[in-house]
Amino acid sequence: MNAGDDGPPPVRSTLARFIARAPRSTEEIEALRRRAWIEQGVVVLEPDELADDWLRQALTNEAAKRWGGRPRR
């Protein structure tokens, strides 16, 4: 891997075309979030993106109750 690369080298295999690539831009991630909501009814939010303190804490509390706490950043 060269300096400046932002990920592992591509997989070299005849099956490589079937491996999904990870989204690389904010726009791609946002499109995946939108698709998850529309197709599956799944909401994907980052707590730091929520401006409302009460809502952020309520969602954080529910996630911690269901799946356990997470380390602070």
**pLDDT grade for 16, boundaries at 50, 70 and 90:** confident
Q: Let me know: does 21 contact 27? Beta carbons within 8 Å.
A: no
Query: Which residue stretches of 1-73 are H helix?
Result: 26-40, 53-67
Answer yes or no: is pLDDT of 73 > 80: no
Q: Looking at 1-5, 17-21, 53-57, 62-66, which range is the least confident one?
A: 1-5
Cα distance between residue 21 and residue 72, in whole Å: 28
**pLDDT grade for 5, boundaries at 50, 70 and 90:** low
Q: What is the pLDDT of residues 52-69, one digit of tens each?
A: 999 999 999 999 999 998
**Enclosing domain of residue 47:** 22-67
Is residue 26, in this structure, part of any structural domain at all?
yes
The amino acid occupying position 33 is R
Tokens of 9: 């080298």
Is residue 63, in this structure, part of any structural domain at all?
yes
Is residue 15, in this structure, part of any structural domain at all?
no
Is residue 10, in this structure, part of any structural domain at all?
no
Total structural domains within the chain: 1
